Chains A and B, each alone.
Chain A
Amino acid sequence: MARMMYRDAVVSTIAEEMERDPSVVMLGEDIVGGMGTPGGPEAIGGIWSTSTGLFGKFGADRVIDTPISESAIIGAAAGLALSGKRPIAELMFADFIGVSLDQIWNQLAKFRYMFGGKSRCPAVIRMAYGAGYNAAAQHSQSVHQILTGMPGLKVVMPSTPADVKGLLRTAIRDDDPVIFLEHKALYGMKGEVPDDPDFTIPYGHARLARAGQDVTIISSGLLLGFCEAVADKLAAEGIGCDVIDLRTTSPLDEETILDSVEVTGRVVVVDEAPPRCGLAGDICALIANKAFASLKAPPEAVTPPHTPIPFARELESAYLPSADKIEAAVRKTLSWR
C-alpha cells in the first residue's frame, strides 16, 4: 500500500496504463501547457496537475495538448476510440460538457448501439466537477445527473484515492465510453492505495463506508465525507448508520442499496446536484418501488436548492448540503415511530 493524494492516483494510474498498453493516449487543454512558448514543453501538466510528467515520458503523439475546443476534443476521442486507440480525454471543468454535448451524447454514447454492436468505443472522458471553491455558476456544477440519464455512458464518481486507482484502471481497460468525474475539492485528499498493478474495481459495486442498522445514508464525492462525519457523531449516541458510497451512478448498485434499506428501513440520499429529475429522486423512487415493505419512514433527499450555484462564500455554503442538514434529515427519519 502506498499513501498518495487523489490527484496523484489519477496521474499514476494513467502512467501505468499508458506503459502497459501502447494504445492508451491522452488529450486535453493545457495537459502539457507551455507548448510553443518560452517556458518549455511541459510547464503545467494539467490545471489540476493530473498529467504532470506524462508528456516527458510518452511524448507528443500520446499526450496531446489541444486548443480550447471541447467539441473537437470529445469528437477526436470518439474517432480515436473507433480507430483502435484508448483515448483519455480531459475536459478540465465538468461545466464545459455543454460545449461538447453532441459529441458525448449523440456520438460517443450511441455508437455501439446504433452500429448494432459492431463497434466499441473505449474512451474515458475525465472532468473535475463540484462546488467548494467559490467558482460560481459556470465552474462548480455536478453533472452526473445529466450524464447518468444518457443511455450508453458509464458514470463513475470516486470518493477516495484508492477508488480513483481501481475505478480509473477499470475505465481505461473498459471497451465502452466512461465518464470519470473527479471532485475538485478532493484532489488534495490523501489515502492508502493498493500497489497491485492489476487492482481494479468493477462498476456497479458500491462501498460500505460505515456500517450500522438504523439508517442508510447514500452519497458520493465530497459530500460522502460529510455523511461519514454525521455517522460518526450519531454512533456516539448509539445510532448506527450504513454509509454507502455509490462509486458509480451508472451502473447503479441496486443490491447494496436495497439490502441496506431492508435492514434499516430508513434512508437519506445526499447529492450535490440539483433536486429535480436527479440522482437523489431516482434512488428514492427505486427504494419506494422495491423496498416499500421495509420502510419505516419516507425516504429523505438532501440536495442543494433548484438554483444555479452562487458565488459568495456565504451563499455557496448555504447552497451546499452541510453535515447539519444531513444530520437533521437522519433525525427526521428516526422521528417516525
Chain B
Amino acid sequence: MQLSREALLGAYRRMKVIREFEERLHVEIQTGEIAGFTHLYCGQEAVAVGVCDHLSVDDKIVSTHRGHGHCLAKGCDVNGMMKEIWGSREGLCKGKGGSMHIADLDQGMLGANGIVGAGAPIAVGAAISLKIDGQGKVAITFSGDGACNQGTTFEAMNMAVVTKAPCIFVFENNHYSEHTGFEYSVGTAKDIASRAEAFGMKVWRGDGTDFFSVYETMREVLDYVRAGNGPAAVEFDTERFFGHFEGDPQRYRGKGELERIRETRDCLKRFRESVTGAKLLTDADLDAIDAEVMDTIEAAVEAARAADRPTPQDVLTDVYISY
C-alpha cells in the first residue's frame, strides 16, 4: 500500500461520489421525476476507481449499461451526468442519451452502452488507434459476467490478441446477469478470466470489493500492457447492491444476501477499515469527505432539477440530416 495521503483521500472521495450519486438516484427514481431505465453500479465502486485512478485522459475506456461509476471515475462531470439522467438539454449528451448512453470523449470516456457486449470491439479499435499513435496509452473495456457470453466479446478478445492491441478486458463479475446467476450462465467454466487465457492473453484476478486489491492488480496489468505486450484481461469478483435495474424486485437473490453483502463486502467500509486500521487516515478525515460529497450530490440534484428542459426542435439536432 504505497499510496500517498492525497491519493488515498482522492480514491475514497471518488468512490464516495459514485456511492452517493447512486444512493441518491435510488431515492429520486421513486419520485417518478427520472425517466427511462437506470442500472445502479453501487457496490462495485472499488473496481471503477481502482482501474481509472491509473489512467490519464488520453487512455480510453468503454463502459456498459451500468456506466455511472465508470463515467465518474474517468472524470465525467457530476453535474453534467446528473442533468443527463434528468433528461435536461444541459446534460452531458443534451438529454438525448440518458443514463445508459452517457459519454464524454474529452475525458477518454467512449460511452456507456445499451447493447450488452458491444463495448469490447469498440475498445479494441480504440486500442489499435492508441498503438498506432505509439504513446503507451491503453483502452479498457468493462464487461459483466453476462457480457462475457456474447460473441462480440469473444471476437474482440481474439482480435486484440491478433493485433497486439493495448486493450485491457476488465471483467466485473457481480454474479448476476440481469436475474440469472453466473454459475448457470457461464456454464462449467470456473471463471471468466480462464476464457481470456484460452485466447492467449495473460490474465489476473482480484477482489473487486477491495480497492487495494484492484489498484495493485491494475498496476501490474497496466505495466504489462503499456510495455507493449499486447492485450490482457482481469477479472474482479464484486457485488451489486441494488437490483438489475431500478424497480427489480430481486426475487432471484438468496435470503439475507443483500444484508450480508452490504455488511461484509462493501468496498467503502473495507477501505475505511483498512486505512484507519493502518493509521493512514483517520475517521475524521473520511467523515469530512463524506460531508463534502453529500453537498456535491445535493448541489448536482438541485442543478439538474433547475436545468433547462429540451424543446421539440432539439429532436432534429445532431443528426446529419433529418426528414
User: Which residues on A are within 8 Å of B, measured CB to CB?
Assistant: 29-30, 32-40, 43-44, 47, 65, 67-72, 95-96, 98-99, 133-139, 275-276, 305-308, 310-315, 318-319
How far apart are A220's CB and chain B's nearest CB, in angstroms?
A: 21
Question: Shortest distance in angstroms between A54's beta carbon and chain B's nearest beta carbon?
Answer: 15
Q: Name the B residues within 8 Å of A318 (CB-CB).
A: 311-312, 314-315
**Contact across chains for A315 and B184 when beta carbons are under 8 A apart:** no
Q: Which residues of A contact B36 (CB under 8 A)?
A: 133-136, 311
C-alpha gap A314/B254 in the complex (Å): 40
Known: A44-B178, A136-B36. 18 other contacts (CB 8 A): A32-B180, A33-B180, A35-B181, A35-B184, A38-B181, A39-B253, A95-B114, A96-B115, A99-B151, A135-B100, A136-B98, A137-B114, A307-B315, A310-B95, A314-B87, A314-B310, A315-B95, A318-B312
**Chain A residues whose C-beta falls within 8 Å of the C-beta of B146 in the assembled complex:** 67-68
B16 close to chain A: CB less than 8 A: no
**Chain A residues near B150 (CB, 8 Å)?**
68-70, 99
Contact with A along B153-180 (1 / 0, CB 8 A): 0000000000000000000000111111
The one of A33, A306, A313 that contacts B322, using a Cβ cutoff of 8 Å = A306
Query: Interface size (B, Cβ < 8 Å)?
Result: 55
Tell me whether B228 is interfacial, beta carbon within 8 Å. Answer: no
In the assembled complex, 26 residue pairs joining A and B whose CB atoms fall closer than 8 Å, in A order, are A34-B180, A34-B181, A34-B252, A36-B182, A37-B175, A37-B176, A37-B252, A39-B252, A40-B251, A67-B180, A67-B185, A67-B187, A68-B116, A72-B151, A99-B151, A133-B36, A134-B36, A136-B96, A137-B114, A138-B113, A306-B322, A311-B98, A312-B89, A313-B35, A318-B312, A318-B315
- Taken together as a complex, chains A and B put the C-alpha atoms of A95 and B178 apart, in Å, by 17
User: Chain A contacts of B179 at CB under 8 A?
Assistant: 30, 33-34, 37, 39, 43-44
Q: Let me know if A276 and B323 touch, CB within 8 A.
A: yes
When the two chains form their complex, are residues B314 and A315 in contact, meaning their CB atoms are under 8 A apart? yes
Q: Is B293 an interface residue (CB 8 A)?
A: no
The distance from the CB of B317 to the nearest CB of chain A, in whole angstroms, is 9
The answer for the CA separation of A293 and B185 in the assembled complex, in Å, is 60
User: Is A40's CB under 8 angstroms from B252's CB?
Assistant: yes
Residues of A within 8 A of B87 (CB): 134, 311-315
Closest residue of chain A to B257, judged by CB? Answer: A38
Alpha-carbon distance A36/B253, docked complex (angstroms): 11
Within 8 Å CB of A315, what residues of B? Answer: 87, 95-96, 310, 312, 314-315
Contact between chains at B114 and A138 (CB < 8 Å): yes
Q: By the criterion CB–CB under 8 Å, are B149 and A68 in contact?
A: yes
B213 within 8 A of A: no
Q: Collect the chain A residues with CB atoms within 8 Å of residue B35's CB.
A: 134, 311-313
B101 at the interface (CB under 8 A from A): yes
Given A305-B315, A311-B35, A68:B251 Cβ within 8 A: no
In the complex, are the beta carbons of A39 and B251 less than 8 A apart? Answer: yes
Of the residues A38, A276, A305, contact of B316 by C-beta under 8 Å? A305
Taking the nearest CB of chain B, how far is it from the CB of A318, in angstroms?
A: 4
Q: A311 CA to B187 CA in the complex, in Å?
A: 36
B97 at the interface (CB under 8 A from A): yes
Q: Which residues of B contact A312 (CB under 8 A)?
A: 35, 87-89, 95-96, 98, 309-310
Which residues of the other chain, A, contact B177 by a CB distance below 8 angstroms? 67-68
